[in-house]
Each structure stands twice: as C-alpha cells, then as structure tokens.
Amino acid sequence: MAHGMRILFLLEDLCYGGTQRQTLELAARLDRRRFVPVMLTLTGPTDLDGLAGQAGIDVHNLGRDRRLAPFFFARLGTALRRLRPDVLVPCTALPNIWGRLWGRALGLPVLGTVRGGGGPKRQHERFLWRLAQHIVCNSEALYDVLQRLGVPPRRLSHVPNGVDTDVFCAPASSLPVSARPPRLLCVARLAGDKDHPTLLRAFARVLERHPDAVLRLVGDGPEERRLRQWADAHPAGRRVEFVPGRPDVREEYDGARLFVLSSVREGQPNVLLEAMSCGLPLCATAVGGIPRLITDGENGFLCGPGDDAALARQICRLLEDPPLGDRMGQAGRERAVRDFSFARMVAAHEALFERLAGGDAC
C-alpha cells in the first residue's frame, strides 16, 4: 500500500475521557510511512476533535452536536463503505457493538478493544467477541475475564496503556509533594463507574482531622448535577472544587498533594499513570487493572471499592506523613518510566494492525 494502510478508530465521541485521550495518543504516534490514522465518531465534533486535526488525523462525524447521530447504526454502514479502512478499531461500548456488526457485514478486519472494567458486559463480549478478528485489552484483569468468556488466547492481547513521561513530569519549579497544600486531586469523568459519592464521603471524614484540606474534582459527565447537589447539601461540599475537563491537566497534578480514585470498575486508568509520572502518591480502589499500577505501601495505597472509611484513613496517613508522600511519589515516577512507555504501546498495536491487514486472525 503506497500510502500506508488506513486504520479507522471508531469512537462514540471525542469528549475528554481516558479512552478518547489514549486512542488519540496512539493514532497520533503511528508511523505515517506505514499507517494512515482516521477517526469516525457517532456524534458531532466534541472536545478533542481539534487536537486530532492538529495531529494530522482526519476526523469524520456522523452527527452535528454532542448527542448520538439519529439512526447512527444505519449511517455507520454508509460511512464505513465510503472510508473503507484496512483495519477497523472500535473503541468503547457502542462502537464495539455496531462496529463489529458492520465490520463483519462489510468484510473488514476488526481489532476489538476492551478497556473499562464494565466493558465485557456493556459490549456483550460473551456473544460478540467472535465478530472481531482479534481483541486488545489494557489490563491483566480484563484479559482473564475475556478468557473466561471463551476468547482464545491466540485472539487476545494485553497491551498496557502508555504515558508520555517527558510531558507528564514535575517541572523544575515544582514544590516537593510534602511542601504542597493539602489538596486532593481526582481527574475522572463524572460517571457512575468512578463512584465519586464514595470519594465525597471519604473526604468528609478527612475534614474531621484536616479541616484545611481541599478536594478538587476535574472532569465532566452525567453525574455532575447529582454530585453538586451533594456538595450543596453537606458542609464538606464547601471544600470541594468542581473543575471542567480539558486536554492539558498537568497544572492540576503539579498543584496536588496526592491523587485519589474511588472507581468501582476500571481497566487501566490513564490518570493514574499520569499522576505516577508526575510524582504523586496514589490512593485508589483495588479494582480492574489498578493493582498492576499501585503496589500497596510502595507508590500508594489500595482499598476496597465503596469503603469510604478505609479510603479516608489512607488519605489521612499521607497527609500526616509528608516524607512518605515524597517517597511514594518518587517510586511511582520510576515505575512509570520503566514500565509504561508510549513506544511499547504503539509498537504492539502496529504489529497487530499489520497482521490483521494481511489477513491473519492472530
């Protein structure tokens, strides 16, 4: 293929979110001598379309605004016939359902993806895995789940997310973690899987011992109204800051004392990798691929999902032992540099694209 093989990433939208950002980073880093990345969304233009364009990626939208395009499932077939990719890569639940159905109907090689902890159920993997020639997941936990659903190992790959450790790092001017104000940072979509209510309850407990602490929630999503209502109704809410999501949140990492995530379902969260790379200690729930990123007591603390008391104790421990936060942050930074480079993630995907375009079901 003189102009490179066309790799079409099919997404529900390009809103701020872990899957969207990771997919954009992957597409932007593909070797343009061999691959031509293209993106297709089921909505109109959203938050990251402009960044994709700046990276030289063609973006096509089925809709006009942030809502799903009317009859997107029918219009998707027309778009795929027109764009005719060499490999179709559906990302998130709806694209993995309808992209695989249309991929099979049109004879397109499909590289399915399973990223979030709820992905196997939402994407009906028990029934639909056979419609993808190969499936990539980003955590060992998801790899095990998919194998139990019947996906043969030869059609399944575990490729961890990557992080740009040169971009996500503490600037030379940064204060050590131990010298920063007691600001707790959570960068996450305001959605049910992230279980922000548990984090808010934990924060209320933290304030009993550290009344000067602040919780900063960076992100957007369907749960925002309910979370703001909680903040309005509880005294702790006066110390909670809601910040809209945006492409570059490095300033948030640079100003935080620690990073916290209270999810009930996860794959391998990009934000934890970014926080590690920026040298922050972590407090998070032991779900999905998170235990692969956090070694309890080494670069952060783990607790069970929904356990606001345990989460509060861990946060207080870090606030009350500043040198511990410095040591954990440094350990996390070293691990991010060693184990989670973008180069490894991109190379693994490129090898799969070539095999699929060549007719190999892997």
CATH of the domain at 191: 3.40.50.2000
User: Is there a single domain that holds both residue 31 and residue 81?
Assistant: yes
What single-letter DSSP state applies at residue 296? B
Domain of 244, in residue numbers: 177-339
For residue 283, tell me if it sits in a domain: yes
* CA angle (271 as vertex; 22, 52 as ends), nearest 5: 30
Tens digit of each residue's pLDDT (9 = 90 or more) over 265-320: 998 899 999 999 999 999 999 998 899 999 999 999 999 999 999 999 999 999 99
* Token pair for 157: 């790959």
What is the number of domains present in the chain?
A: 2
What is the rounded distance in angstroms from the CA atom of residue 356 to the CA atom of residue 135? 11
Same-domain status, 97 and 196: no
Residues 225 and 214 in one domain: yes
**Segment 185-223, tens digit of pLDDT:** 999 999 999 999 999 999 999 999 999 999 999 999 999
pLDDT at 361: 59
Facing residues of 284 across strands? 261, 302
Asked if 206 and 272 sit in the same domain, the reply is yes
Q: CA separation (Å) from 204 to 143, 197, 314?
A: 36, 11, 14
* pTM attached to this predicted model: 0.81
Q: What is the pLDDT of residue 116?
A: 81
Mean pLDDT, range 114-126, rounded to an integer: 91
Same domain, 346 and 318: no
Is the domain of 218 the same as that of 324? Answer: yes
Taken in order 54, 339, 324, 208, the sign of the CA dihedral is: positive
**DSSP designation for 272:** H
| Residue owning tokens 């293929």 | 1
Asked if residue 167 is part of any domain, the answer here is: no
Compute the distance between CA of residue 343 and CA of residue 347 in angstroms, rounded to an integer.
Answer: 6
Whether residue 331 is found in the same domain as residue 350: no
Q: Is residue 169 part of a domain?
A: no
Decide: helix, strand or coil at residue 143.
helix
The pLDDT tens digits of the residues spanning 147-174 come to: 999 999 999 999 999 999 999 999 988 9
What residue type is 87 in one-letter code?
Answer: V
Decide if 20 is inside a domain: yes
In a domain, 315, yes or no: yes
**3-class SS of residue 222:** coil
